[in-house]
Amino acid sequence: MKLAGFDLYGYSLPFTRPPTLKGRSLRRREGLLLRLAGDDGSEGWGEAAPLPGFSAESKGEAAEQLRRLAGSMMGREATEDWVDPDGEFGRELDRVAPSVRFGFELAVWNLYAASSGKALPELVASHPRAVVPVNALISGSPEEALGEARRMRDTGYPSVKLKVGARTVAEDAALARALGEELGEGVSLRLDANRAWGYEEAAEFVHGAARFEYVEEPLADPARLPEFVGEFGVPVALDESLVGMGPEELEENSYARAVALKPTLLGGISRTLRVAERALRLGVTPVVSSAYESGVGTAALIALAASVAERPVPAGLDTYRSLAEDVLEELLDLPAPSVDVMEAAEASRTVVLRRLEKI
């Protein structure tokens, strides 16, 4: 099968509850969808959606790179190397922006899967798990957060995450303690500080909080994370620190309890799989997480989450609930405590062209 054509589209989806990213309220999620066509009639969709405040590339820059990259590939024979995380093809993409790499790789992997009569999860792993557990996001005032936590617990979510760092340290610690008590032993509590604290503030939080699975990026100065973990024994997860980090560099960060893998920011499927493999070797838990992608990208995250860990790990997919609309006709079965992997893969193929703008 050879690449025979491509189309590039833009989308703009409203949020039901606009998230605040790096101090900016995001009212719509904008991104790009790439459709690759094979000469055998197969097609594959990919999504490139730079995340404002986190991605260095703009949507316009991503579109330019995607168009140039796709155009340069026309007429080339698709081989198994294209869907090999350690293959030569992946190295050809090292110089493109992370979101572009994710979008193009996803389109290629989906195209190859369609041409081979498979679904994406079956390319990512020979025996992907049938179901992926989901980590729920909770927000709002302490009363609202406790109410959400209670509902999530009763609904069957195995894990919930709370953003910390916007309140005082004492308020965050008190809320974390209350949530831990509300959730009980059967539901894990994850915290995400987004580098909000200085060293002393983070230490104050650790002394005041009760049990939690881990806290993501607690320090404004991530260089002090090894010292922080060594002094307090606190479980931490890496997120922003992974951007631009090669898989081999993870060796220097084996103090982490977990790594939040966001292909839009890490740079694609192959790089995410390589980082996950290295993490597992080090005893670090890989947690696949979203960057507010549409259903096309979210379905790819589900396929990755079904494959990367040795045991089921709740994936960070709950941002999908914040989209008021999607580009898919068959919406993903989210929000939910878990999601069917193959059903999500099938739904991701039902892109509605009238909801897109061709560019």
Question: Would you state the pLDDT for residue 130?
Answer: 97
User: How high does pLDDT run on average in the chain?
Assistant: 95
Residues 37-92 have pLDDT tens digits of 999 999 999 999 999 999 999 999 999 999 999 999 999 998 999 999 999 888 88
Residue matched to tokens 């260089």: 223
What global pTM score does this model have?
0.96
Same domain, 331 and 184: yes
In this prediction, residues 223-228 reach a mean pLDDT of: 97
Mark whether 176 and 324 lie in a shared domain: yes
170 and 270, same domain (yes or no) = yes
Distance of alpha carbon 203 from alpha carbon 185, whole angstroms = 24
CATH number (domain holding residue 292): 3.20.20.120
Query: Which residues are tagged catalytic?
Result: 163, 262
Percentage of the chain with pLDDT > 90? Answer: 90
pLDDT above 80: residue 23 = no
> What is the mean pLDDT of the segment spanning 213-222?
98
If asked whether residues 117 and 136 sit together in one domain, one would say no
Q: What angle do CA 83, 88, 92 make, to 5 degrees?
A: 95
Distance CA 251, CA 254 (A): 6
Residue 132, pLDDT score: 98
Q: Within this chain, do residues 185 and 205 fall inside the same structural domain, yes or no? A: yes
Confidence of residue 211 (pLDDT cuts 50, 70, 90): confident
Verify that 105 and 213 share a domain, yes or no. Answer: no
Whole-angstrom distance, CA of residue 99 vs CA of residue 31: 10
* CATH number of 48's domain: 3.30.390.10
Together in a domain, 7 and 138: no
pLDDT, tens digit, 9 for 90 and up, residues 303-332:
999 999 879 999 999 999 999 999 999 999
Same domain, 297 and 174: yes
- On whether both 140 and 46 belong to a single domain, the answer is no
Q: At 248, is the pLDDT very low, low, confident or very high (cuts 50, 70, 90)?
A: confident
Half-sphere exposure of 250 (CA within 13 A, CB side): 30
- The tally of domains found in the chain comes to 2
**Same domain (yes/no): 32, 112:** yes
Q: Are residues 99 and 203 in the same domain?
A: no
Amino acid residing at 314: P
- At 210 the three-state DSSP class reads coil
Element counts in the chain: helices (H) and strands (E): 12, 15
| Domain encompassing residue 195 | 131-347
181 and 257 housed in the same domain: yes
pLDDT of residue 24: 81
